[in-house]
Structure 1
């Protein structure tokens, strides 16, 4: 059966515009693009898509380099990326939607919904602690060869039985298995798989029709061929790039892991960011209340750089990055959305924050009128 997206009465939220019409320096923005092009030529990355939106106007949407270097497939603006941890804000949003519906509170104990957490070590972990990465849970449900678990719930139950490495609520430590537990809670409360909840309650209402939550697509689904290959290298910025995955292979984990697993093009993810930037509203559709969005995208008590499954980048700037080279941010003060998407990032490769700085430097700061 071919893929047929559900049709929503949604108009496209973005339209193209010249940079100067929204107070962006075209010269500085072009410098950002040419810098990324140099990164490809120098081998710092294999390819990238860049998207900048200000005041709902697209001022930059370009691609450079390769989607699959070995097969000579060029990167395109509609290339689909493994968003990895950029999935986390969607999971946080799902939990907060259930909270607004009165189906949970953030201070609820996880064991209320997942019996495997009802033991001496895990009993006191709360949903809030999962969202803020303060649960004490560490480690991974993914191993070098994939995962030994058959389902998300099986993996999360083992996480609960194993328990936290640190007393819950005492320190911030970024936790993929904690995010997977968020997904299991969403599934338990909603009564449907977490990926179905995110698809029907978030992706489809926002018109994110090119996005999906695992790689189990029908053989004739045209989106499969648009997914970029993934690259890594062992020696930081000095070694050669090695392809680790491409769209002819199955995903490394046979289930939606919740901490990652979103596949999306930049323009789709920008719709989600736009909704949050507008206080949880997207056209006539409301995803969350303004108060909940403010709570989610503000730093939590124990971390100046993380909210409720959102990274925070200083005053009024939030977003998230993903392993392998993806980064998104929304800047409330400047009404700006930025995405830099690559599948070739390594530890020590700082192209993502470098690109963000280049975009920020392109914003024209208007002087106050002299009195």
Structure 2
């Protein structure tokens, strides 16, 4: 059977069960009902099928909703290419950094309960951060550069964690001693607790002074620990009891149960060395509940999360946060004099910088202006993705959100660009 026929068969089978899989989000009678052209949406389907055929990606799930109704919910290619298992709409993915908006929402819920404020010092919840120093490069007389430790000019805040201006970073091998120290100290050890992770980071130098620089980082992992301290609950339990259960996101957690193992998406060999990416199986359970990237989910579940945002903080009669909290999360939180970290150019069109017409809210990037960024969208749309290939965006002006799920680190940027282009070209009213 051809790839296209496999995908078509999978999509047909899921379409018959769409109301159940989409968990209460209604489906349009036709895309034209909400301003899309079916003939133009076919371009998106054709391009994804072409990508599968050309070995660009193993498979994907696309969910498009407008005006609170599902316009398109389809699967392409393979859930497991090597085993020739077709992708289906209920496939579960490792969503990596699409965990960040969920954990940030958890912290905002605690803000609404008076258990924390965004202006609080991180050291209020993790005392070791009061003594964390900042590594500053200093040029010596002989022309070489050494790193000198200085105190924080102003303390790192919860707000800094949410918008990645904390001075923290991610570990990376190379010349930067701060990033190398993350690897040496094993700050991303999956066998540690959130408390142990936070204490390790507090002992290491910050890469930048808090509040001065946008550096994508382990900030949301530290925020996860703040949630634990402020709530008195483990992060995974708080998210389950306060977010995923109320929103009926039954396939969203830090791992899937053993009976769901067969629904997990598998990556394919890719990259210059034609190797399998190191993506954990959806059922693997780790001690470390990574607030920055540890969760699994489905397209339908994440759609419910976005629909709650679209509804101003509530869904199906369950209110998680107020409309004003949603407004705060989805506004640009970066100050006008913010700098971009030295390596942040790697985000390309997704960089939350003024030169890309974007900023960063609380948990995701935010578009500020029309026309500067090479990707289509609207001012005030917001988005983020995961390193394993998943991606979402919500365009409030167009009452539109899109969830794109795949497990392909190699293809992630390319297909994020393509999804923006192909969704907006199909929307004519």
TM-score normalised by the chain length of structure 1: 0.87
Tell me what 1:104 maps to.
116
Q: Tell me which of 356, 362, 368 is aligned to 1:308.
A: 362
2:427 is aligned with 1:353: no
Q: Tell me which of 121, 124, 129 is aligned to 2:160.
A: 129
Q: Return the alpha-carbon distance in structure 1 between the equivalents of residues 316 and 40 of structure 2.
A: 31
The root-mean-square deviation of aligned C-alpha atoms, in Å, is 2.4
* Cα deviation digits, residues 81-109 of structure 1 (max 9, x gap): 11110010011101111111111111100
Contact 2:163 2:363 (8 Å CA) reproduced: yes
Contact 2:59 2:79 (8 Å CA) reproduced: yes
Q: Tell me which of 384, 391, 394 is aligned to 1:327.
A: 391
Q: 1:78 to 1:185 in 2, by over 3 A?
A: same
Where do residues 83-98 of structure 1 align in structure 2 (5 Å cutoff)? 83-98=95-110
Tell me what 2:246 maps to.
205
Is the partner of 1:333 in helix, strand or coil?
helix
| Higher helix residue share | 2
Tell me what 2:261 maps to.
224
Q: Return the alpha-carbon distance in structure 1 between the equivalents of residues 50 and 129 of structure 2.
A: 50
Contact 2:66 2:399 (8 Å CA) reproduced: yes
Contact 1:19 1:59 (8 Å CA) reproduced: yes
Shift of 1:118: 2.2
Shift of 1:244: 3.5
TM-score normalised by the chain length of structure 2: 0.76
Tell me what 1:344 maps to.
408
Q: 1:265 to 1:333 in 2, by over 3 A?
A: same
Moved more, 351-360 or 178-187: 351-360
Moved more, 350-359 or 182-191: 350-359
Contact 2:255 2:284 (8 Å CA) reproduced: no
* Cα deviation digits, residues 221-269 of structure 1 (max 9, x gap): x32221111346332xxx5352544648735x54211101111110110
Tell me what 1:46 maps to.
58
Tell me what 2:324 maps to.
291
* Cα deviation digits, residues 323-363 of structure 1 (max 9, x gap): 11111111111111111111013278511221122101111
Q: 1:149 to 1:125 in 2, by over 3 A?
A: farther
Is the partner of 1:160 in helix, strand or coil?
helix
Is the partner of 1:305 in helix, strand or coil?
strand
Q: 1:241 to 1:334 in 2, by over 3 A?
A: farther
Q: Return the alpha-carbon distance in structure 1 between the equivalents of residues 213 and 110 of structure 2.
A: 26
Where do residues 169-188 of structure 1 align in structure 2 (5 Å cutoff)? 169-175=211-217, 177-188=218-229
Q: 1:71 to 1:244 in 2, by over 3 A?
A: farther
Is the partner of 2:398 in helix, strand or coil?
coil
- Structure 1: 5+ residue stretches without partners: 1-9, 366-371
Contact 1:231 1:345 (8 Å CA) reproduced: no
* Cα deviation digits, residues 116-175 of structure 1 (max 9, x gap): 212152681100001110011012468999726521210111111213111111111111
Moved more, 333-342 or 115-124: 115-124
- Structure 2: 5+ residue stretches without partners: 1-21, 134-151, 172-181, 336-351, 353-357, 369-378
- Choose between structure 1 and 2 for higher RCO, CA contacts under 8 A separated by at least 6 residues: 1
2:231 is aligned with 1:190: yes
